[in-house]
C-alpha cells in the first residue's frame, strides 16, 4: 500500500470513528470508566454521613476522635488495546474482514479515550508480540495507532492469546483499561488472563463471521487453514464432519465466555455484519 492510499484510509477511518466517539461513545466511555482508579488525597475529621469504611484507625487512635481518608478520582487513565493480527482475522464473507471491523472498533475506543485525556497504547500480537506502542496522549498518537492497525504485516499467522496477556502484565504495572480484540479461536489462556485481570480492567471483544459457526453442505472441497497454511480435503456432505466442526467452534466460544467471566473480566461478541455501535453502547450502559 503506497503512502497516499494509506493516508486516505487513515483519514476515512478517523472521520467515521471520531464522529462516533464524539457523539456516542465519549460520554459512555467516561461514565463507564471514571473513578476506576482512586488516589489518596487527605485525612479529615469524620462528618455525619461519611462511609465508616474510610475511617483511618491510626489517626483516629492518635487524636482520640474519628478521622476519615479522603480519596479523589484519578483523572488520567490508560487504555491498552490488545489486537490479534493472526491469519484468521483476514477472513470475512460479508462486507468486510474481521480485521477491518477490529480496526474500526479500536479506533473508536482510542478516540473516546483521547476525548477523556487518557493515554492509549497498542499491542499487536499473533503467537508472539508483533508490535508494542507505549501509551501516550494526543491525536497524532492515535493516528499512528490507526496506521499500524491498517498496514502492519505480522511475522506469524498463528495465535497465542496467552502471550499477549503475559506481555501486558510485564509492561503495565499500574492499572489500565484493556480491550482485547480477537476472534478468540484459541485456548489455554486462562492463567495469564486471570493474572492480568487481577490488576487491570479487561474487556474481551470477540469478532466473528457467520460462516465460522458452521460448515454448509458444499460437497468435497479444499480448505486452507488460515494460520498454518495446511490444505485439507473436507467432505462437507458428511453430517458427522459438519457436526464435529460445529461442536469444536462452540467449545472455543464457550471457553472464551467462561474464562472471561471466571476472571472477572467483561466480554462481548460482535459479528462482522452486525453493528458494533449497538453492541458497545449496550455493553457500556450495562457497566456504567
| C-alpha dihedral sign at 240, 242, 244, 247 | negative
d(CA 239, CA 224): 20
Every domain of the chain and the residues it spans: 3-32+76-287, 38-73
**Cα torsion at 96, 99, 102, 103 (round to 10°)?**
-90
CB-based contacts of 168: which residues, under 8 Å, 6+ apart? 80, 82, 123, 178, 196, 200
Q: What is the pTM of this model?
A: 0.81
Grid cell 498454518 in the structure block, residue: 228
Q: What is the 3-state secondary structure (H, E, C) of 115-130?
A: HCCCEEEEEEECCCEE
The one-digit pLDDT tens for each residue of the chain (288 residues) are 666 776 777 878 888 787 777 766 666 776 677 644 555 567 888 888 788 888 889 888 988 899 888 765 555 789 999 999 998 887 766 678 899 999 999 999 999 888 888 899 999 999 999 999 999 999 999 999 999 999 999 999 999 999 999 999 999 988 899 999 999 988 899 999 999 999 999 999 999 998 888 888 888 888 777 777 778 888 888 889 889 889 999 999 999 999 999 999 999 999 999 989 889 888 888 886
Q: Would you state the CATH architecture of domain 3-32+76-287? A: 3-Layer(aba) Sandwich (3.40)
- Going by the DSSP 8-state scheme, the letter that residue 95 receives in this structure is S
Residue 79 sits at φ, ψ, to 5 deg, of: -105, 135
Amino acid at each position: 500500500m503506497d503512502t497516499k492510499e494509506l493516508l486516505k484510509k487513515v483519514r476515512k477511518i478517523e472521520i467515521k470513528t471520531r464522529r462516533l466517539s464524539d457523539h456516542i461513545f465519549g460520554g459512555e466511555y467516561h461514565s463507564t470508566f471514571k473513578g476506576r482508579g482512586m488516589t489518596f488525597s487527605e485525612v479529615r475529621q469524620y462528618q455525619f454521613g461519611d462511609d465508616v469504611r474510610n475511617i483511618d484507625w491510626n489517626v483516629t487512635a492518635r487524636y482520640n476522635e474519628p478521622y476519615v481518608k479522603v480519596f479523589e478520582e484519578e483523572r488520567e487513565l490508560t487504555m491498552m488495546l490488545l489486537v490479534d493480527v493472526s491469519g484468521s482475522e483476514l477472513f470475512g464473507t460479508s462486507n468486510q474482514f474481521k480485521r477491518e471491523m477490529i480496526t474500526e472498533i479500536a479506533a473508536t475506543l482510542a478516540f473516546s479515550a483521547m476525548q477523556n485525556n487518557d493515554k492509549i497504547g497498542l499491542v499487536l500480537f499473533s503467537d508472539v508480540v508483533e508490535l508494542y506502542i507505549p501509551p501516550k496522549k494526543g491525536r497524532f498518537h492515535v493516528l499512528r495507532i490507526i496506521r499500524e492497525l491498517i498496514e502492519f504485516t505480522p511475522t506469524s499467522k498463528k495465535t497465542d492469546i496467552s502471550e499477549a496477556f503475559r506481555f501486558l502484565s510485564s509492561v503495565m504495572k499500574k492499572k489500565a483499561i484493556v480491550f482485547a480484540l480477537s476472534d478468540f479461536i484459541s485456548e489455554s489462556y486462562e492463567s495469564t488472563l486471570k493474572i492480568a485481570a487481577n490488576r487491570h480492567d479487561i474487556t474481551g471483544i470477540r469478532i466473528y463471521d457467520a460462516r465460522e459457526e458452521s460448515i454448509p453442505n458444499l460437497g468435497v472441497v479444499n480448505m486452507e487453514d488460515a494460520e498454518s497454511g495446511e490444505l485439507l480435503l473436507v467432505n462437507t456432505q458428511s453430517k458427522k464432519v459438519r457436526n464435529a466442526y460445529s461442536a469444536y467452534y462452540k467449545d472455543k466460544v464457550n471457553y472464551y465466555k467462561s474464562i472471561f467471566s471466571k476472571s472477572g473480566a467483561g466480554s462481548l461478541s460482535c459479528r462482522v455484519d452486525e453493528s458494533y455501535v449497538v453492541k458497545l453502547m449496550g455493553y457500556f450502559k450495562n457497566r456504567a
